[in-house]
Amino acid sequence: MQHKHLCDSCGARIEVGRAICPACGYRAGTMFSEAAAVSGGPSRSSKKQAGQPPPSMQDAVERARDSANYSLILSLLALFPVLGFILAPLSIYIAVRAIRTLKLYQVEDGRGVAAAGIIIGALALLAQASYCMLLINSQQSATSLFGL
């Protein structure tokens, strides 16, 4: 069960863990303290396309959380040989984008999963390099055994 409190500006219900009201964009607190109210909303310095309404904060946060989960899954799949050369950088990219969005809206939930995606993705790249080194060394030792 998630606990909720009310926004000081519009009175909408806000889930604990969110620092910005999904209805009006008012800052209800920080990611560490929901009690301390700070004025202002998220900065919207990103490029906007003409004719399209901006995505709501709640939708952006949910997409970022989903992206964090996808990055973790991709980074785990990247541990398999050959797949990792494509999946590891992709998982790191997706996780970095998710962390940026979650930081923009000051949402803590999901950042840990995205950080795990980055770390495991980096380890998968290291594993791919190790697989290549092992393959190269095994081919060299096989040719030296036969005098080639």
| pTM > 0.85 | no
Which pLDDT score, from 0 to 100, does residue 138 have?
Answer: 85
**Which residues of the chain, if any, have pLDDT below 70?**
1-5, 16-17, 28-55, 141-148
Q: Which pLDDT score, from 0 to 100, does residue 69 have?
A: 96
The answer to whether the beta carbons of residues 5 and 12 sit under 8 Å apart is: no
Q: Comparing C-alpha atoms, which of 105, 123, 103 is closest to residue 28? A: 105
Give pLDDT, residue 15.
Answer: 74
- pLDDT given at position 82: 85
**What confidence score (pLDDT) does residue 112 get?**
95
Give the position of tokens 């990247």: 78
Report the distance separating Cα 129 and Cα 47, nearest Å.
37
